[in-house]
Every structure is written in structure tokens, then in C-alpha cells.
Chains A and B, each alone.
Chain A
Amino acid sequence: MNILVCVKRVPAPGARIVLTDDGQDIDTRHLGFTTSPHEECAVEAAVQLTEKHGGSVTVLTLGPPEAVEQLRYSVSVGAHRVVLAPAPTTEWDPEATAAALVEAIGQLESDSPFDLILFGNESADSGGYQVGIRVARALGRPVINGLKGIEINGGEMVGRRETEEGYEVYRLPLPAVAGAKEGITLPRYPTLPGRLKSRRATIEETPVHLTPGAQEMVRLLNPVEEQTETIILGHGAEAAPGVVRLLEKVGLL
């Protein structure tokens, strides 16, 4: 069972997203970086599947040299092999990103195809909801997005997708592609031996061609937020009567 997971390095903004003056990027001078929780859970799901069925997990990212940080993190939580497809930024439109990932996957699959390729349901920052589907179609493999459960059963991937009333079940023949949502499983924290291993891990590189697509970011803008005047109902236990009056006003009591 050989699994590939594609992850994207993104900044981790806190209470506010601050933009650079030219509006071309998030001001990341004071920010850490991460990947989407969907992708973090995809890596965990892949590691668990190989713990059960054997095989290995490869993690691939298209991005700047700093994205090695996200690759090392994935080693610390169980990935076996990590690959950087070097690119000056991650700011490519979904068509360009997908084409570059297809090229990288082609190089990684020179021996045999991955049984499973996992993506996040959507990237955390640009959220195009399509890179995984474009890659799967280019490879001619079945794909389903938004999975909250995944199992391997013989030659099939069994996926569960949440709906308003419960779950839908899908059965895809392998090799297959899927997009994971956070909650598909609970990601582990890195262990000390995991961290040590990640520091020594070899970062493979696979060069890819990138051509800007037809969709171009002009600038980023903070959405206008209405200012609210917060009414302080009180401090500590003394605030209880005020809270109860609010609950009555809203019609909950």
C-alpha cells in the first residue's frame, strides 16, 4: 500500500490577517507556517493505513525551499519519504498547480503508481476546491472529495462522506484519489524520536515546469467588518443574573 499525500505550506494567521502594503500577500513577518488541518489529517490517515496494511507514505509539496519545514513535520508524524517540487511561491492558480503536481507525480511513479493519492478537501489559503480533482482526471483515476472516513478493502478504497442526515459511502477501485476533510481521523502529535528522525530526513527534489494559468490574483483585501460595541455583563459569578436576562431576551428561557 503506497500512498502519496499532497500538502501546501500556508501561513497561520491568528486573530487578524494583516496584508502587505501592496495587497499582494499576507504579511508573514510575525507568523508561523503550517498546512491545512484537512491535509494534516490526510497525512495521519495515510500513516494509519500503512500501519495497518504495510507500505509507505510519501508527502509532496510544491513550494519555496521553506516548505521543507512542512515536509519535516510530516516525517515527525510518520511519513516515510518527502519530496519538494521547488517553486518560487505557492501562488499559482489551480490549473498550474495541478499540472505541476501531475508532472512531479509522473516522476515519482516511474516504477509503479501509488495505490492512493490523498489531497485536502481544499487548500487553507486560496481554497480553489479543485487541484485534487484536476490531478486525478489527468491521471485517469477515480476521485472523490470531502471524505470523513477511509478504509482499504481488497482492491477498493471505501470512503465515507458526511451529509446532513448521516453518511454516504463510496467504493473506488484502486489506484484512486481522494480529498480528505479534517475529522477523517485525529492527527497525532510528533514524538521526540519522530522529531529527531525528521531532522535527519532526506528531502528529495523533483523539478517541475510552471506556467501561470488563466486565473490571476489582482490583490487581497480584508473584508469590511462591522464594529460591535461589546456589552460587558459583569465579572465572574456576579454576572449570572445579567446572563440569565440575556437568555430570556433571546427567548431561550
Chain B
Amino acid sequence: MSLILVFVDNDRGSFSPTGPEALTPAQSLADHLGARLEVATVGEAGRTALEQLGLPGHVVSHPILSDYAPEAYGEALAQLADHVGASVMMAAGDDRGAEVMAHAATVLDRPLVANVTEIVTAEETGATWEMMRTRWGGSLAEKTRLRSSRKLLTIAPHTFPAPGPGANPPRPADIFPPELPEHLARTRVVERIRLTEGLTLATAPVVVSGGRGVGSAENFAILEELAELLGGVVGCSRVATNNGWRPHSDQVGQTGTRIAPDLYIACGISGAVQHWVGCMASQQILAINTDPEAPLVTKADYAVIGDLHEVLAAVIAEIRAGKP
């Protein structure tokens, strides 16, 4: 029977938010192929979380793996894949999943298909498969063909739901001790710097975002004011970042942050695809733009046509007037 091995990363004991998502397509694939599904995480700290998944599991354990160390993680997982005879290996395509799988694929001398959204044809594990994957951060889909007897894939984040808690009763996981050369400790985390921030772009319920139409760094004050009134944060487009009006940590989009707030208020942003992929998961979108034909206006749920400075000033006045 063939074996599908899923790597779920844990950071000091907790799975990453998107990590377990890869288990959902892996389980469907295992059912379809009649394959066995096993899971792995690195470091004893992740044992409890792994055992809660209730699947045959391996805790990869070695002194070098005391903290995140992508070179060593990739080497160790490649050894585990050989040890259990995995013909398919999967992980979430988040920062760590993508990085560790790239290392494992290189060690195993195999191709790696990144950000898979669907496995279209998979008759048996050894055959040629066709899959759908994303390009351009999700703006474009690609049908891809993979010819390899051993298949490594990452799953595009936010494509599949993670399995619900308690899907299977917990079961003990075994220990896998890889053999690692000492020098692989060279890429291990050496220090953490905590930034005590309250709301972040990724978690705020409302994001008031500005683009070229805002015009200057100072002009963002009115967006700050509205964000504060609504209990949200300020976001921006790449033009605002590139002009030095906002820090890159505010940027929404393909090379910025992907967000899914209850409401996204896009002020003076045209809606290029690279921006859209960052905000399209928002529950509601309100665009404020002088141009009724701007792509973001036509894609938004709500729009106000007009100068953003006038509109925001009026909205803030209206809110303040309504407050006792």
C-alpha cells in the first residue's frame, strides 16, 4: 500500500494556523487511492498537537531540532520519507511549509509543486499526475503535469478547511530520530524579538486602506482617524509603500499581507490584480474613488464616487455628530 506523509509544522508546540489544512486534501487523496495517511511534526513540543490529530504520527526528534531550522528540518523529513517509504509528501504552502518542503525536495532530488489547489488526475501514486496550482499569488491558475514516482506538494493556504478538532480519537505518535550533521544548526533561529502590538493588519476587523489617491504621507492622517474611530488599522497599496508614505508592514497584496477583515475600505486604490489578491477575502469591500470605472469600484460591494479627502471628512463628521 502506498503512503502519503503530511508535514504539519509546530512553533513551540502550536500548529501554524494554516498548517493542518494540508490534511484535508491528503485525506481525500488517501481515500481515493486506497493509500495510508501518516503525519509528522518536528520537535517533542509538537507531540500533543500531533497526537490530537488521531492519525499514525511521527515526532521527528534530534538535539539540532530544538527550534526552527529549515535546513535541518528538510534533511530530517527527507530521511523520514525514506524510512516510512512515502510516495507522496505534502505540507501547507505557508512560509515554513514552503521552505521546509523546498529543502526536503532538494535532498530527495525530486520536483516540488508549490501551492496546489486541486489534484485533477491521480490514478496511482507512481503515475503522472495533473494538478491545479496558483500563480501570481492567486490571480492566475495553472494546470500542471508532474512526472515523478515520488511526489512533493505544498497546498495553497486558505484553499481547504483544516479537519475539525476530534475528527479522529487521539493516538500516540512514535519518535523518529534522524541522523543530522552538526553544521546544519547554522540556520536555526537564534533569537526572537517580540513586538507588542495590539491589532495587526492581518487580524483587524476593519482596514482603512489608501493608495496613490491619498497623495502624501500627511494625508494618511484622516485614514488613521477613521480607523481609530472604527477600531481598525490603516492599510495601503504598493504605491503608498514605494513613495515612503507608509511602512511596508501596512501593504496589502501579493507581496504584502493577505487580509480578510469584516470590512475593507479602499481609498484611492485602483485595484490592480496584485492588490486585489490581498483583499479579495474581505467580507465586504467599500471603494472610495473618483473614477467610477476603477476595477476596485466595479469589484467592490459598495462604492462612493468622489474625492476621498472630502468623503472621509464627511463620514468622520457624521460619525462624531451621531455620538453622544
Residues of A within 8 A of B (CB): 13-17, 26, 36-38, 93-95, 122, 124-130, 133-134, 137-138, 142-146, 160-173, 181-183, 186-187, 213-223, 225, 228, 230-244, 246-247, 250-253
Contacts and interface: CB of A to CB of B under 8 A. Distances in A.
Contact of A243 (B70, B272, B311): B311
With most chain A CB atoms within 10 A of its CB, the pick from B95, B140, B286 is: B140
A219 B143 contact: yes
B255 A127 contact: no
Nearest to A216: B145
A138 B262 CA distance: 46
With most chain A CB atoms within 10 A of its CB, the pick from B103, B200, B231 is: B103
A128 B136 CA distance: 10
Contact of A234 (B188, B298, B304, B319): B304
Given A181-B255, A244-B319, A146 B95 contact: yes
Contacts of A240: 311, 314-315, 317-318
A127 B318 contact: no
B105 A130 contact: yes
24 contacts: A38-B255, A127-B134, A133-B99, A137-B103, A142-B71, A145-B95, A145-B98, A165-B192, A182-B251, A183-B249, A215-B146, A218-B142, A221-B140, A230-B287, A232-B305, A233-B286, A234-B304, A236-B305, A239-B311, A240-B315, A243-B311, A250-B206, A250-B262, A250-B284
B263 A231 contact: no
Interface of B: 11, 68, 70-71, 93, 95, 98-99, 101-103, 105-107, 110-115, 130, 132, 134-148, 154, 186-195, 200, 202, 205-206, 230-232, 238, 241-242, 244, 247-249, 251, 254-256, 262-263, 270-273, 283-284, 286-287, 292, 295, 297-307, 310-311, 313-315, 317-319, 322
Contacts of A125: 135-136
Contacts of B114: 122, 127-130
Question: Chain B's interface: helix, strand, loop or mixed, by majority?
Answer: mixed
A17 B273 contact: yes
Contacts of B140: 17, 26, 220-223
Given A15-B272, A134-B106, A37 B238 contact: yes
A247 B231 CA distance: 12
B194 A165 contact: yes
